[in-house]
Structure 1
Amino acid sequence: MNGPPAPLVEELSHLGYALMRLLLQRAKEVFAKEGLSLLQAEVLRLVREGVNAPSRLAEHLEIQPSQVSHLLASLEEAGFVERRLDPEDRRRVLLHLTPKGEEAQKRLKEAWLAAYSQHLARLHPEELLLFRDLLRKLTEVGHA
């Protein structure tokens, strides 16, 4: 077999999963302080980044369109998101953050970066750079 030894792969797999669970749990705590679930917070982030069609949200979130409808309804009701008719195609709806949604998304981002920074603070500056470089290498799309 090409690649690293199986025991090392297994250990790295467990460590990667543990880190993912730890960060996911921390994200849930951070977002809950704003009264939002992980998915709701992700919708705000995606809409802020220009994913403004419900169908595209479903693709990005890898969920059913009906689930997106429920998410959007809850975010609309809370005053974070609004749906507007597309001026170029009035059959389509486009999503926009309200001023309340913009502010919430900004607070979420700041709170998340502060929480993640706490975990990264365990590393020395040179370890941080190495960690960044390794993550870049592991997440390169199309490179094996």
Structure 2
Amino acid sequence: MPDLQEPNLLILLHDVARLMRTLADRRARAHGMTRAQWMILLRLRRCGGMTQRELAEILEVEPITVGRLVDRLTARGLVERRADPADRRVWRLHLAPEASPVLAEIDAVRLAFDAEVTAGLSPERRQVVTETLLLMKNNLVAAGEAGEAA
């Protein structure tokens, strides 16, 4: 029987992720937004022109949820919906120019948050942790794809 007092990697990963989400929620609220709104802005900066459905899949929420979040971001002038030239039923999401200062603010908070979370990690340990997490992510993606094929 396993020792329940012994640290368990998967439980630790879960706990770290939960604590990071909780703190990120607080930081976003302190800036008048939600973590989900920040994630939408960051995703659109990386890959503008996505549909709400594509964004919902990435964020792992329902399209209606993304729709409401985008409505709020649109009302603030940060996101624009543009018609898809190939399909008039589809709207593509793009950052508005007014999103630039908000993204700069998010970047500053992210850098400070990263420094806080990784305090005490040498660059070498940080690299090992990053490589380990990437390997675990790839293993999970492969397992998911294998499960879909079965």
Pick the TM interval, shorter chain. Answer: 0.7 to 0.9
> Are residue 142 (structure 1) and residue 139 (structure 2) matched?
no
Task: Within 5 Å, give how 1:56-75 maps onto structure 2.
Answer: 56-75=54-73
Task: Count residues in correspondence.
Answer: 140
Larger RCO (alpha carbons 8 Å, 6+ apart):
1
- How many angstroms apart in 1 are the aligned matches of 2:13 and 2:92? 37
Give 3-state SS (helix, strand or coil) of 1:142's partner.
helix
Q: Paired residue for 1:14, among 7, 11, 15?
A: 11
Residue 6 of structure 1: how far off its partner (Å): 4.5
> Are residue 23 (structure 1) and residue 4 (structure 2) matched?
no
Determine if contact 1:53/1:93 at 8 Å carries over to the other structure: yes
> Which residue does the alignment assign to 2:51?
53
- How many angstroms apart in 1 are the aligned matches of 2:120 and 2:7? 24
Q: Name structure 2 gaps, 5 residues minimum.
A: 144-150
Name which of structure 1's ranges 39-48 and 126-135 shifts more when overlaid on structure 2.
Answer: 126-135
- How many angstroms apart in 2 are the aligned matches of 1:102 and 1:90? 28
Give 3-state SS (helix, strand or coil) of 2:42's partner.
helix
Give 3-state SS (helix, strand or coil) of 1:91's partner.
strand
Give 3-state SS (helix, strand or coil) of 2:8's partner.
helix
Q: Paired residue for 1:129, among 120, 123, 127?
A: 127
- Over 3 Å counting, the alpha-carbon distance change for 1:94 and 1:57 in structure 2 is same
The AA in structure 1 aligned to 2:134 is R
For the aligned residue pairs, the C-alpha RMSD in angstroms reads 2.5
Q: Name structure 1 gaps, 5 residues minimum.
A: none
Q: Could you tell me the TM-score, scaled by structure 1's length?
A: 0.81
Give 3-state SS (helix, strand or coil) of 2:82's partner.
strand
Q: Paired residue for 2:96, among 98, 120, 126?
A: 98
> Which residue does the alignment assign to 2:38?
41
Give 3-state SS (helix, strand or coil) of 1:39's partner.
helix
Determine if contact 1:54/1:95 at 8 Å carries over to the other structure: yes
Q: Could you tell me the TM-score, scaled by structure 2's length?
A: 0.79
- How many angstroms apart in 2 are the aligned matches of 1:107 and 1:65? 27
Determine if contact 1:23/1:116 at 8 Å carries over to the other structure: no
- How many angstroms apart in 2 are the aligned matches of 1:112 and 1:73? 24
Runs of 4+ in 1 over 4 A off after TM superposition: 5-10
The AA in structure 1 aligned to 2:44 is V
